[in-house]
Amino acid sequence: MINWIEKENLNENLSEYIKGILGMEVHPAALRHLSGDSIRNRIPFPRLEKHEGYLFGITYIPSNTENPSADFDAVIFAANHDSVVARIIEFEDDTSNLLWDDLKPKLSNVNSQDSTADGGEFILNLFRETTILLWEDAENIRIFLDEKLDMDEGAERLAIGDLSAKHDQLNQKERQTLLRRLNKLSPTMSIISTEMNQMKRVANESESILNALCHDEDQYDLRVDLRGHKRELFSKDLEIYLSDTWELCRTLVATLEEIEALIVEANTSIKLLSDQENVYAARATGAIAATLLIPSFLVGLWGMNFTSMPELNWKFGYLFAVGFMVSLSLFILLAFKKKNWL
């Protein structure tokens, strides 16, 4: 039987309420967590512990798989063979859209009429739904990375995930356009990088727990129920379903590592693009300065007005000076243009 701790239950004696459901008292540390105050604003880190006669655990579920800045909601539970007491901690912000009224029935979908332990089924449901929602979150990040960036008309549209392979093939105009697009996406990329750390932590720890569960390790299984009957919390049938969820979680971990590598490559490419643009900007500045240097020198030379300067008495001296400076400046500009400095 699955029992959810609601706000009204917190006004009662929570320890007695939980004892009435599980048939035993829980450890004071577990009770503190079930009250909900101890994990708010904590770094998401799943856990599962074997206590005397029950399992205590905390799982973290993405609160909004479509929003990279969303946090994780938490489910805290204590479970034995026949009963589960669980508490949902929703992180109060405007980004969460997790519909707990729809998710609760999925987590509580256990068959109390058969010999399979309700607590084991609940834990299986919890880790399965957590893995599925993490998958949705990961797929939305991959879709973002595969999104094609609009370039100038006629230019190939480039995905963020393809930057590392193709950024060297861009000309200066395409590079400048791409950088403008990427600068607009930079805040989102930073948020995704932060979320990836949390997702990997949750996925890795969940994978470790599922590995132990499906391999029937003693650290997580209860072999005897409250009536003293030999009965595993995770039956062989449940372990098969747990193995399936474990494989999905392993694939999720590998996918998150691939996505993280794509993000690292994309950030590296963005930095290279920015560095290249700075180099070209410095070259352009140097080319313009060099172009203006010769006319400035000639103006300074002819501005000395020594009486012995033959140019002062030329009929076309002014036109010659202007024409010579313009021609020389154009020659220098063309030379820098040929070297792609401009």
| Average of per-residue pLDDT across 226-232 | 81
Beta-carbon contacts of residue 64 (< 8 Å; ≥ 6 apart): 70, 95, 96, 97, 98
In this model, does residue 56 exceed pLDDT 80? yes
In this model, does residue 47 exceed pLDDT 70? yes
For the chain, give the mean pLDDT: 79
In this model, does residue 148 exceed pLDDT 70? no
In this model, does residue 39 exceed pLDDT 80? no
Determine the Cα–Cα distance for residues 298 and 293; give it in Å rounded to an integer: 9
| Average of per-residue pLDDT across 148-171 | 58
Q: What is the pLDDT of residues 302-339, one digit of tens each?
A: 777 677 777 677 777 778 788 888 888 888 878 777 77
> Which of residues 220 and 96 earns the better pLDDT score?
220
| Average of per-residue pLDDT across 286-296 | 78
| Average of per-residue pLDDT across 148-176 | 60
For residue 11, give the H/E element and its range: none
Q: What is the pLDDT of residues 87-118, one digit of tens each?
A: 888 876 666 777 878 888 888 887 766 777 88
Determine the distance from the C-alpha atom of residue 191 to the mean position of all C-alpha atoms in its chain, rounded to a whole number: 6
What kind of fold does domain 2-278 have according to CATH? Methane Monooxygenase Hydroxylase; Chain G, domain 1 (1.20.58)
In this model, does residue 25 exceed pLDDT 80? yes
Residue 81: both structure tokens together: 């063979």
Determine the Cα–Cα distance for residues 2 and 71; give it in Å rounded to an integer: 26
According to the model, what pLDDT value does residue 302 have?
A: 74
According to the model, what pLDDT value does residue 127 have?
A: 92
| Average of per-residue pLDDT across 198-219 | 86
In this model, does residue 151 exceed pLDDT 70? no
In this model, does residue 76 exceed pLDDT 80? yes
Q: What is the pLDDT of residues 168-203, one digit of tens each?
A: 666 667 777 777 777 777 777 778 887 888 888 999
In this model, does residue 163 exceed pLDDT 70? no
Kindly state the DSSP code that residue 51 receives in the 8-state scheme: E
pLDDT band of 45, cuts 50, 70, 90: confident
pLDDT band of 207, cuts 50, 70, 90: very high
CA neighbor of 217 nearest in space, from 241, 233, 199: 233
Least confident window among 28-37, 260-269, 323-332: 260-269
Kindly state the DSSP code that residue 39 receives in the 8-state scheme: S
According to the model, what pLDDT value does residue 166 have?
A: 62
Q: What is the pLDDT of residues 133-142, one digit of tens each?
A: 999 888 888 8
> Which of residues 161 and 57 earns the better pLDDT score?
57
According to the model, what pLDDT value does residue 126 have?
A: 92
Residues of the chain with pLDDT > 90: what percent?
A: 8
Q: What ranges do the domains of the chain cover?
A: 2-278, 281-338
In this model, does residue 156 exceed pLDDT 60? no
Q: What angle do CA 240, 82, 20 make, to 5 degrees?
A: 150
Let me know: does 291 contact 332? Beta carbons within 8 Å: yes
pLDDT band of 205, cuts 50, 70, 90: very high
- Alpha-carbon distances, residue 79 vs 32, 162, 256 (angstroms): 16, 47, 30
